[in-house]
Structures are given as C-alpha cells and as structure tokens.
C-alpha cells in the first residue's frame, strides 16, 4: 500500500498536508475533497491541513479522469512534491472507470502513471469516505512502526 516506508514517513503521518489536484472530469470529487476541509468536517483535528503549494504538500489527492492534456502536468506535480510524499486517487474516474471511461480525451488511470498509495472509490466519494480513507492511510503508516 505504501511505498518507501521510512521513519520520515511516520513523522509525516502526524502532520499530513494535502494538495488536491484535478486531472479532468466533472469536478465533483474535487468539491468533496474541499468539503472535508470545511468547518463541518474539520480535517485539522486529525492533523491534516490544506497545502496551497505542492512543494509543501505531503500527499496529492488526484481526482477525475486523467486527460491527455493533464498527463504531463500530473507527472510534473508529483516530481515537485518534496519527499517523502504520498499519492491518493480519489473517485471512480481516477481509478480508471466512471462515466468518462473510454472517452477520446481520457488517457490512463492514475495508477498507470504514478505510484498510488491509496484508492478512495465513489462517484463522488462522500467527505466521510475521504476522511475514512486518509485515516486508514495514517493508521497503516503508524502501525508499521509497531
């Protein structure tokens, strides 16, 4: 599930800063991710914060169908993320399915391009599902230590 497990990654898991990235699609998953950061869901209580700049992020939350146009951009974003960093595919489209599957502009699922650490399916996944997924990821990293 998690690549390159290390002590640094376990330290990162206590303060996970996320950067939502939209690869294409209808924008529904992106809005659900942003809803997680609102006062109603309060991700900050788990130590998760929004990073406006990819250089500060510890995890990219990629949502939507990967279009040909955004393929290079997503690779660039992943390169610019300071290590250790995690990749999370959010939504059915990012997993290679969904209503845009087989479309002319859709290239590949996210895991065919980047090493994905966590999959959160749903069309769109509810904020509770995103929070649950991130919680499981953090828990998994911490359990590796024990």
Partner 1 sequence: VENGDGQMMHFAFQLLIFPGLLFVFAGSQAAAFLERKTAARMQNRIGPSLFQPFHDIFKLLVKENEPPDVRQKGTPLLFPFMGLVSAACFSFLVWRSVFHPTTGFRGDFFALVILSAAASLLQVSGVLFDPKRAASGGGNRFFNYYLTAELPFFIAAGVPFLQAGGAFRMGELAAFQKTYGAVVASASGFLAFAAAFTASFVVIRLSPFNQPDTGIEALSGPPARCSGMSLAVFQLTRQIMLFTIPAMLILFFLGGMPFGGFAGFPSAAKYLAVSVAFSVIQNLSPTLGLSRALRFCLGPLTFLSVCAVVLSFLGW
Which residue ranges make up the site for partner 1 (CB under 8 A)?
8, 11-12, 14-15, 39, 42, 44-45, 47, 49, 53, 55-56, 58, 82-84
Residues 133 and 47: beta-carbon distance below 8 Å? no
Of 20 and 109, CB closest to partner 1: 20
For the record, the structure tokens of 82 come out as: 């300071």
Q: How far is the CB of 47 from partner 1 (least distance, A)?
A: 6
Q: CA distances (Å), 115 to each of 34, 35, 51, 79, 136, in order?
A: 23, 25, 20, 12, 18
Of 56 and 68, CB closest to partner 1: 56
CA distance 82 to 102: 33
Q: How far is the CB of 25 from partner 1 (least distance, A)?
A: 28
Q: How far is the CB of 139 from partner 1 (least distance, A)?
A: 16
Q: How far is the CB of 58 from partner 1 (least distance, A)?
A: 7
Closest CA to 110 of 66, 58, 76, 79: 66
For the record, the structure tokens of 114 come out as: 């980047």
Q: Name the residue with tokens 């990819």.
A: 54
Of 79 and 104, CB closest to partner 1: 79
Of 17 and 140, CB closest to partner 1: 17
């Amino acid at each position: 599930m998690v690549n390159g497990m290390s002590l640094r990654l376990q330290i990162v898991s206590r303060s996970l800063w996320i950067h939502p990235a939209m690869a294409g699609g209808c924008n529904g998953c992106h809005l659900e991710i942003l809803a997680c950061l609102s006062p109603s869901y309060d991700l900050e209580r788990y130590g998760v914060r929004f990073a406006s700049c990819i250089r500060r992020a510890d995890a990219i939350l990629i949502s939507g169908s990967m279009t040909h146009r955004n393929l290079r951009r997503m690779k660039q974003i992943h390169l610019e993320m300071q290590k250790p960093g995690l990749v999370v595919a959010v939504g059915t489209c990012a997993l290679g399915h969904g209503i845009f599957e087989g479309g002319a502009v859709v290239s590949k699922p996210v895991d065919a391009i980047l090493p994905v650490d966590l999959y959160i399916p749903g069309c769109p996944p509810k904020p509770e599902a995103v929070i649950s997924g991130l919680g499981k990821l953090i828990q998994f990293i911490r359990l590796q230590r024990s």
